[in-house]
Structure 1
């Protein structure tokens, strides 16, 4: 059900984004409490401003009303992934070397299922993260297919 909503939304969205030279980062269709949310994350090289999100939201909303792929009431949110952008593909990892990232694993490596640190390398489907263990810096190598979720992280 939600995969149909996502694929239909993506089809309706592509021409709108191409016209505005924007990239699709992610689409989520999730239930939170009793409400459904269709969230669309868009971006471009220099970042996306609020008026662009508004324009895309208006145009997409019109097309969704015509196609009507969603039976229940829902909220449409169009935004930029901002500073904690998800890393979804191998390309995302390659493009974000030397940035601070957070990863959640399917199974523990060295007893941990979560790591946050600097993405040092992505080679041969291995992600290398430099992280702090108390005061010492350590590296962990994580096979790409063991990563459940990854995103850019804000370092404080």
Structure 2
């Protein structure tokens, strides 16, 4: 089966019902997308499918079709994306486990809402769990990235 990940077409030999998460991690050796709950509830496995935030742990690879998949590795090659810079500026990560999913959800939000309110940020990010409780820093980082993209 062929899928497009971060702008490159890749061929994988997997069962059609294999979750995209395992295709990314095990077949393509892309370890940025994390396994959290396995039920699409925690957000650690968030990737973009044609720009929309999706949970890769519950998305069968057969559902991808011709869509473009973007992972945290495809957000920027050198960590220079405004969200990645804001995450560092605000010292968001503690354990870091959820951060790729948090950043990918935030990127999907900013793609459709360039200057979200705190309420819109909270609503968009509600499906991403941070066991360390860095939610205020996550919100501040998203605001900073939104402002950086406006200037």
TM-score category by the smaller chain?
Answer: under 0.3
Higher relative contact order (Cα pairs below 8 Å, separated by 6+ residues): 2
From the two aligned structures, give the one with the greater strand fraction: 1
The two structures have a TM-score, normalised by structure 2, of: 0.26
Bigger share in helix: 2
**TM-score scaled to structure 1, two decimals?**
0.25
Q: Greater CA radius of gyration, 1 or 2?
A: 1
